[in-house]
Amino acid sequence: MSSFVSFTIIGIVLGSTYAIAASGLVLTYATSNVFNFAHGAVGMVMTFLYWELYVHQGWPVWFVLPFILLIVAPAFGLVMELLIMRRLTTANTTTQLGVTVGLMVALIGAGQLIWKPGGRRVDAFFNGSKVSFGVVNVTAQQFITLGLALAVALGLYVLLNRTRIGTAMRAVVDNRELLALHGARPNVLSGLAWALGSSLAALTGILLAPQLNFDHTTLTFLVVSAYAGAMVGRLKSLPLTFVGAIALGLLTEYGQWLYTELPTSWITDSEGVIYGLKNSLPTIFLLGVMLVLPQEKLRVGRVTGTKLPRIPSWRTTMLWSAALLGGSYLLTGAMGEANNARFGQTMCLPLIMLSLVLLVGYGGDVSLCQLSFVGVGALVVARGFDIPFTGLGFHSQISPLSIVTAFLLTAVVGAIVALPALRLRGLYIGLGTLAIAGAMDRSVFESGLVGFGAQGSTIQVTRPSWLSTERSFALAVVVAFVVTAWIILAIRRSKYGRILLATRDSQAACATLGFSTTMTRVAVFAMSAGLAGVAGVFFAGMSVTPGTLNFYFFQNLPLLLFAIVFGVTSVTGVLTGGFVYGCITSTFIVGQHPDLVGLAYIVVLVMLRLLVNNPNGLVGLLFDQSRRIMSRPDAVSAPPGSAAAREPYPATAGLGLEAPVGSA
């Protein structure tokens, strides 16, 4: 019983920290309409700064805390608002997602550059001294956390409901223009919100630091739990957000409690499934909340469509394919086997990203669980599959059969994921798929029963004998890329491509034409997942020992980010984006210069500034430029409004109108 009480207390305390983080998210979202994926990363950087000043430099805590919470963090929030967020308020979801994820990645990069990973700890306040209440002890840290959460709740309530500034902050999201006509400064108001939000993120990080692995990613991704809390309040209501956060804190800790009470034999028998389920409770909670959110209505009257890069002619496609294959052949011939392996692994990323072209580029949906589909594909080939009664099957063997099976199985998984996701749009579908990816990680991939196992991978994938060298398999990956690209371009040219774009551009118009967009979205999810699954087979073959870490859920964020930055609407875009991302993470740099990773991420952020105005990414920008330079006559449209250029209607009787319109 006493353990139940102490888990309750820990749960409430944990929920309180989530609540502080979540209220910061809600505050910034409500005033600027931008969902800040980098919220946790801001907290992370501030927590490291706290460690630097307090632990490393030995400054007194009474100075460091106010200095960070009241000066550094708010200033950081103001700068973010001024440089980035202000421009995002009217951008589409994909751009918002791309930019805030980019900021997050850049902050992690910067954090790793300044503070090398490893070996840090922060003591709890008052050295972890405790007060005993009969059966349970409550630490000073827990008291302080609870007190601060209450203070934040009360302070925000008073600010938003009892002051004019607060009223204006609630008004700014309704109608920014009207508030300006009232004489209030909307930019100052959202600056204030971002300053506060950033300070709350810092507070969360500092409160959690003593209890956690003190590293860049753990702190950054704690915020996923905050997403769940904020989602309960539908990103609007602060009281509901607090309720949601506390509920999540309790759920997490009760899960932990149940886990300790279960017979040990159950846990070992499940080979990590129960352990994984317990650890993915926050993501399962998030997913559950997403699913009960009311469905969005059809929206009418919005600007539709963004211009996509032109479809290349078959001839161009042919030439480029030949150039890519030929170039790879020559390159791999000139390099040694070790570098060929790196090249092959790098080329897997463009292959994976191709599946995003269909879903994100053409379909206008967002997926943050694409790597999970890749993982499923890798899992299919790694663990093997027997087709009942036929005697057909494969075990850890790359073969046409394993590729087809991986495609079909992943497509089915994709369709299943699409079903709940269909109810959602934009940001929510992004968060929903991220939650799915998180849950897949812990309950499927980490499990020894159905997945790769938690401690690295022990499964070896065998290549066919004629592809056994690194060079030959790397070339096979390039061939797979070319074939997939041809499939995607064929879809784009076909009736299905047109329908896909139409669905993205206007759901309302589709409905009034009598067309159901549901099937299209399920189909594109399934197709995209299937292609990712095939990429997974090649990835498994290239790396030989695929493991959980390859598909870790938050790697979905940089994956989508690089695709968007370089241009997720074109094959060329994902080829370059994937190649650059592959270079940074998997091979050339990580192997020799780990320091450069952070720097590379910061460079990405700079490129993001270009993206804000260009949904087709850097490659789209290049396309536009080159077209301007080499504009051919057939690319130029008829002069708008030229009545002479128009063919006459098959006119019936004479005109029914006596006078022309208007009398000016």
Partner 1 sequence: MALLEVDDVHVRFGGVVAVNGATFDVDEGTIMGLMGPNGAGKTTLFNVITGLQAPTSGTVRFDGKDLKKVHPRLRALGGIGRTFQRLEVFGSLTVADNIRVAAEMRGIENPARVRDELLDRVGLRAFAHVTADSVPTGIARLTELARALAVSPRLLLLDEPSSGLSEVETEDFAVLVRSLAEDDGRSVLIVEHDVELVLGLCSQIHVLDFGSIIASGTPDEIRKDKRVQDAYLGADEAAAAEIEEAV
Partner 2 sequence: MSEHVNALDVIDLTAGYGRIQVLHGVSFSVPVGTIVALLGPNGAGKTTTLNCIAGLIDPMGGHVHIGGHHLNGAAPDRLARAGLCTIPEGRGIFPNLTVAENIDLFAFAAQASPKEIQERAFSQFPRLAERRTQLAGKLSGGEQQMLAMARALSSDPALLLLDELSMGLAPKIVEDLYEIVGEIGRSGVSVLVVEQFARRALAVAQLGIVMVQGRVTALGEPADIEGELSAAYLGGAA
Interface residue with partner 2 among 21, 34, 179, 324 (CB under 8 A) is 179
Planar angle of CA 402, 404, 409, nearest 5 degrees: 90
At closest approach, how far in Å is the CB of 33 from partner 1?
20
**With 0-12 CB in 10 A as exposed, 13-18 as middle and 19+ as buried, what is 121?**
exposed
Q: Does 264 bind partner 1 (CB under 8 A)?
A: no
Enumerate residues 609-638 that contact partner 1 by CB under 8 A.
Answer: 637-638
Per-residue binding letters, 493-522, with partner 1 (x by CB under 8 A): --x--xx-xx-xxx-xxxxxxxxx------
- Residue 98 is which amino acid? G
Q: Are 200 and 39 in contact (CB under 8 A)?
A: no
At closest approach, how far in Å is the CB of 424 from partner 2?
23
Q: Given the complex with partner 1, which of 70 and 519 has the nearer CB atom?
A: 519
Task: Tell me the three-class secondary structure of 585-623, residue by residue.
Answer: HCCHHHHHCCHHHHHHHHHHHHHHHHHCCCCCHHHHHHH
**With 0-12 CB in 10 A as exposed, 13-18 as middle and 19+ as buried, what is 93?**
middle
- Residue 501 is which amino acid? L
- Quick one: which segment of 51-59, 177-185, 258-266, 288-296 binds partner 2 (CB under 8 A)? 177-185
Which residue carries 């399934």 as its tokens?
526
Q: Which one of partner 1, partner 2, none interacts with residue 179, CB within 5 to 8 A by kind?
A: partner 2
Give the integer Cα–Cα distance in Å for 61 and 69: 12
Q: Does 307 bind partner 2 (CB under 8 A)?
A: no
Q: Which one of partner 2, partner 1, none interacts with residue 180, CB within 5 to 8 A by kind?
A: partner 2
Interface residue with partner 2 among 121, 182, 310, 498 (CB under 8 A) is 182
At closest approach, how far in Å is the CB of 210 from partner 1?
50
Q: What are the contacts of 207-211 at 24+ separation with CB within 8 A?
A: 207/17, 207/20, 207/141, 207/144, 207/145, 207/148, 208/17, 208/47, 209/47, 209/50, 209/51, 209/122, 210/121, 210/122, 210/123, 210/124, 210/125, 210/128, 210/141, 211/124
Q: Given the complex with partner 1, which of 118 and 650 has the nearer CB atom?
A: 650
Interface residue with partner 2 among 2, 60, 62, 181 (CB under 8 A) is 181
What is the rounded radius of gyration, in angstroms, for the C-alpha atoms of the chain?
Answer: 27
Q: Does 303 bind partner 2 (CB under 8 A)?
A: no
Give the integer Cα–Cα distance in Å for 262 and 403: 40
Which residue carries 């009360």 as its tokens?
154
Residue 139's beta-bridge partner residues? 130
Q: Would you mind telling me the total number of residues written for the chain in this entry?
A: 664
Enumerate residues 300-339 that contact partner 1 by CB under 8 A.
Answer: 300-308
Q: Are 30 and 159 in contact (CB under 8 A)?
A: no
Q: Which one of partner 2, partner 1, none interacts with residue 181, CB within 5 to 8 A by kind?
A: partner 2
Residue 386's beta-bridge partner residues? 393
SS3 133: strand
Per-position DSSP letters for 56-108, written without gaps between them: IS---HHHHHHIIIIIIHHHHHHHHIIIIIHHHTTS-HHHHHHHHHHHHHHHH
Q: Given the complex with partner 1, which of 303 and 629 has the nearer CB atom?
A: 303
Residue 136 phi, psi dihedral angles, 5° rounding: -120, 155
- Quick one: which segment of 56-64, 204-212, 436-444, 491-499 binds partner 1 (CB under 8 A)? 491-499
Q: Which one of partner 2, partner 1, none interacts with residue 170, CB within 5 to 8 A by kind?
A: partner 2
Q: Given the complex with partner 1, which of 391 and 641 has the nearer CB atom?
A: 641
CA 558 vs. chain centroid, Å, equals 7
At closest approach, how far in Å is the CB of 156 from partner 2?
16
- Residue 238 is which amino acid? L
What pairing do the DSSP bridges indicate for beta strands 385-386 and 136-139? unpaired
SS3 650: coil
- Quick one: which segment of 87-95, 181-189, 410-418, 513-521 binds partner 2 (CB under 8 A)? 181-189
Interface residue with partner 2 among 184, 192, 203, 619 (CB under 8 A) is 184
**With 0-12 CB in 10 A as exposed, 13-18 as middle and 19+ as buried, what is 642?**
exposed
Per 3-state DSSP, the chain is made up of helix, strand and coil in percentages (nearest 5) of 75, 0, 25
Q: Does 650 bind partner 1 (CB under 8 A)?
A: yes
Q: Which one of partner 1, partner 2, none interacts with residue 65, CB within 5 to 8 A by kind?
A: none
Interface residue with partner 2 among 116, 121, 185, 310 (CB under 8 A) is 185
Residue 137's beta-bridge partner residues? 132
At closest approach, how far in Å is the CB of 414 from partner 1?
22
Q: Which one of partner 2, partner 1, none interacts with residue 228, CB within 5 to 8 A by kind?
A: none
At closest approach, how far in Å is the CB of 184 from partner 2?
4
Q: Which of 284, 276, 302, 282 is nearest to 226 (CA)?
A: 282
Interface residue with partner 2 among 129, 137, 175, 518 (CB under 8 A) is 175
Residues 6+ apart with CB under 8 A from 207: 17, 20, 141, 144, 145, 148
Q: Given the complex with partner 2, which of 187 and 555 has the nearer CB atom?
A: 187
Q: Given the complex with partner 2, which of 75 and 178 has the nearer CB atom?
A: 178
Which residue carries 């979540």 as its tokens?
22
At closest approach, how far in Å is the CB of 180 from partner 2?
4
E-assigned strands of 449-519?
Answer: none
Q: Which one of partner 1, partner 2, none interacts with residue 164, CB within 5 to 8 A by kind?
A: partner 2
At closest approach, how far in Å is the CB of 311 from partner 1?
11
Q: Which of 365, 299, 307, 356 is nearest to 521 (CA)?
A: 365
At closest approach, how far in Å is the CB of 624 from partner 1?
13
Give the integer Cα–Cα distance in Å for 500 and 303: 17
Q: Does 663 bind partner 2 (CB under 8 A)?
A: yes
Q: Which one of partner 2, partner 1, none interacts with residue 308, CB within 5 to 8 A by kind?
A: partner 1
Q: Are 356 and 374 in contact (CB under 8 A)?
A: no
Per-residue binding letters, 135-174, with partner 2 (x by CB under 8 A): -----------------------------x--xx-xx--x
Enumerate residues 561-580 that contact partner 2 by CB under 8 A.
Answer: none
Q: Given the complex with partner 1, which of 164 and 495 has the nearer CB atom?
A: 495
- Quick one: which segment of 258-266, 372-380, 476-484, 654-662 binds partner 2 (CB under 8 A)? 654-662
Q: Which one of partner 2, partner 1, none interacts with residue 664, CB within 5 to 8 A by kind?
A: partner 2
| Size of site (CB under 8 A) for partner 1 | 50
CA 600 vs. chain centroid, Å, equals 19
Q: Given the complex with partner 2, which of 174 and 634 has the nearer CB atom?
A: 174
Interface residue with partner 2 among 180, 258, 262, 387 (CB under 8 A) is 180
Q: Which one of partner 1, partner 2, none interacts with residue 651, CB within 5 to 8 A by kind?
A: partner 1
* Chain residues that interact with partner 1, rule: CB under 8 A: 298, 300-308, 495, 498-499, 501-502, 504-506, 508-516, 637-638, 640-643, 645-653, 655-662
**Residues near partner 2 (CB under 8 A):** 164, 167-168, 170-171, 174-175, 177-186, 659, 661-664
